[in-house]
Amino acid sequence: MATRNQAQPALEAGPDRALEGKVSIITGAGQGIGRVFAAAFAAAGARVVVADLDAENAWKTADELTGAGYHAFAVGVDVSDESSAEAMVAATMERYGQVDVLVNNAAIFSALTMKPFDEISASEWRRVIDVNLTGVFLCCRAVAGALRQEGGGSVINISSSTVLGGRPNYLHYVTAKAGVVGLTRAMARELGSHDVTVNALMPGSVDTGIPRDSAQPSAVDQIVASQALRRRLRPTDIAGAAVFLASDAARAITGQTIVIDGGMNFL
């Protein structure tokens, strides 16, 4: 997990306004890919709720966006806690009166140490599942009423391409991210009659600037060599797909999983 004093890359914004007027909650948006999602959504015209367990980082991101002339505010949230997820949505409704988009990005990954599955403690297993899978469920459940009230909207769940390769030594993480795909498909069926789309993104290995056990130079070189695109992926490579799925251009796309891993896996 990044420290509060860790240098973060500058937020980049583009001219597209595909999300004009939409209110978007993005979890895990205080750092890493979520932070770039927040900037991309704001640049596309959305009013962004920067939600993160680290409220200080969340407010830092929100303040940068408002300082750049965008609409944003921050909420501290533990996605694995039912009441915290509900409070996040309540704060959004109080501030903006609507929710149009939920991006379930919050997850435990960088803090994990690679280890054989039979060395993963039951408590560590539960914590990863609680945040990476149950957290998605709780946030979706908390926002469902607001999306129905709005008469439509978008849910974008962040899975991982580690599911496709069955990456070893991260069994709890891979299992949770596989569950996100199943949740996405079933929820798309349940919310489709309310004109709510539910889709998943499967990022590959992305350089977020956050140190992690699996991103040693030799491992990164092997990952890049296995991709069709022989370059390190950046958060901006993922953000464009998220903006598209949240936009009206993707209103007929639901229950789908889009792999963004530089061509490591083909579906």
155: β partners: 102, 198
Q: How far is it, in rounded angstroms, from Cα 180 to Cα 211?
A: 24
Q: How far is it, in rounded angstroms, from Cα 1 to Cα 7?
A: 13
CB 8 within 8 A of CB 52: no
Give the active site residue among 70, 96, 170, 173. Answer: 173
- Mark out the alpha helices in the chain (DSSP H runs): 32-43, 55-67, 82-96, 122-129, 135-150, 162-165, 171-191, 217-226, 235-246
Residues in the chain: 267
Q: How far is it, in rounded angstroms, from Cα 177 to Cα 210?
A: 19
Q: How far is it, in rounded angstroms, from Cα 188 to Cα 249?
A: 17
Whether 96 is catalytic is no
The count of other CB atoms within 10 Å of the CB of residue 113 is: 12
CB 243 within 8 A of CB 250: no
Q: Indicate the DSSP class of residue 56.
A: H
The single residue listed with the structure tokens 């490579």 is 237
Would you name the residues annotated as active-site residues?
173
